[in-house]
Amino acid sequence: MKFSTLSISLLATILSPLSGVNAFSVTPTVPTISAKSRTTTTLYVEPIMVKDGDDSLVVATTPSVKSGPTMESMATAIAPGIRLTGGEKLREEGLTGKGVKVGVIDDGIDAGHPGFEGKVVQQSWWHEGRGLSHGTHVAGTIHMMAPDADIYDYRALGQNGGSYEQIAEAVNEAVEDGCDIINMSLGGPGASYGLYRAIRNAHRKGVLIVCAAGNDGDNNPLTNENSYPANFRQAMSIAAVSKQDNLPTAWFSNTNAQVDYAGIGVDVISFKVGGGYMSNTGTSMACPHVCGFLTALLTKGGEYEDTIKDDASCRDLINDKFLIDIGREGEDRSTGLGYLTYLTKDEFELQFFDLPDYALLSAV
């Protein structure tokens, strides 16, 4: 049973940073943006639990691997993952996600974070209590990639997990709400027919589904680690790569024949509950880079509005214009067809690092 649906007007009252209270009486700290750099060497896994119909809980394959509060001041800098995915260039060319609705199905979003600038316009929650950290970080990346897009928050995961049924309900509601694209940085080892039907319905209606590939990888590209909904063919399965020369696949990233693309997923800086920034690592973090990029391409009145009509036309576009081949030459089980970015190969290498000699990217 869903607890409530919040309109933007209600959000302004309940989730105001000055009120100290957000939905369901969760009390965050007053949001602030720190100007000081903090680092940490501690890594730990924060599992997301998914309940598949019965009383047993299974650990989802897309937890985040946290790496501390914040690795650099974000008061003046742009997050490295945003730069590497072409966020600055997208904004310069007017591709900001204006008029696009993004559904984020996760553990909830701290809509009062000042970084969102009021762009979390609706919240539908199936859970109350603790949470929001993962979803806030995920949504923050999407917002930084496409700052004018409207974000719809579907809290289908709580502190004790959520069910595939609830996630399916969230997908269906996102479709009914008119979302153009849905981000799901979550998953589990078993397929749910109810969730499959919801995703199939969204796919048929032209909604783009972007999912984290999963964090059960064993650093062996010859083995299969499967996660759903990422492994459904109607979804884009996103692997994680590191911010290093040649964009190596993160050791934890799932490998299988269903992996489609890769995004930055290591030491990703994004929003922290209550204000400020923190660094997380996981395919959960790679997924919103790709989702935010596609959201920017969907900008109403933008160059690609009439080009992207559905999943197939979107893949045709990005495969032709915005893909860098990394890992093994050609399509591979670790990064799919390659790394997605709005930067040309020359722009990428000029600002960042070398890429494999066979890397191909068509200029915009």
Query: Is residue 153 scored above 70 in pLDDT?
Result: yes
Average pLDDT, the chain: 81
Identify the top-confidence range among 27-36, 62-71, 258-267.
258-267
Annotated catalytic residue, options 284, 289, 311, 332: 284
Q: How many whole angstroms separate alpha carbon 140 and alpha carbon 151?
A: 10
Q: Which of 127, 134, 143, 289 is catalytic?
A: 134
Q: What is the pLDDT of residue 342?
A: 98
pLDDT band at residue 355 using 50, 70 and 90 as cut-offs? confident
289 is catalytic: no
Q: Is the pLDDT of residue 28 over 90?
A: no
Q: Cα–Cα distance between 351 and 73 in angstroms, integer?
A: 20
Q: Is the pLDDT of residue 108 over 90?
A: yes
Hey, what domains does the chain have and what are their CATH numbers? Answer: 4-26+38-351 (3.40.50.200)
With cut-offs at 50, 70 and 90, classify the pLDDT of residue 77: low
Task: Identify whether the C-beta of residue 155 lies closer than 8 Å to the C-beta of residue 123.
Answer: yes
Please say whether the beta carbons of 305 and 298 come within 8 A. yes
Q: What is the pLDDT of residue 361?
A: 65
Alpha-helical (H) ranges within the chain are 8-14, 80-84, 87-92, 133-145, 164-176, 193-204, 283-297, 311-321, 345-351
Higher pLDDT among residues 224 and 170, named by residue: 170
Percent of the chain with pLDDT over 70: 77
* For the chain, the helix, strand and coil percentages under 3-state DSSP, each to the nearest 5: 25, 20, 55
**Catalytic residue at 346?**
no
For residue 29, the model assigns a pLDDT of: 25
Annotated active-site residue in 64, 67, 106, 124? 106
pTM: 0.82
Tell me the average pLDDT across 54-61.
34
283-297 vs 133-145: helix axis angle to the nearest 10? 30
pLDDT of residue 162: 81
pLDDT digits (tens, 9 = 90+) for 172-210: 999 999 999 999 999 988 888 999 999 999 999 999 999
Question: What's the pLDDT band for 312 if we cut at 50, 70, 90?
Answer: very high
Does residue 237 carry a catalytic annotation? Answer: no
* Separation between Cα atoms, residue 314 and residue 20, nearest integer Å: 41
* CA 313 – CA 307 distance, rounded (Å): 7
Task: Give the span between the Cα atoms of 124 and 126, in whole angstroms.
Answer: 7
pLDDT band for position 8 (cuts 50, 70, 90): very low
Q: State yes or no: pLDDT of 68 exceeds 70.
A: no
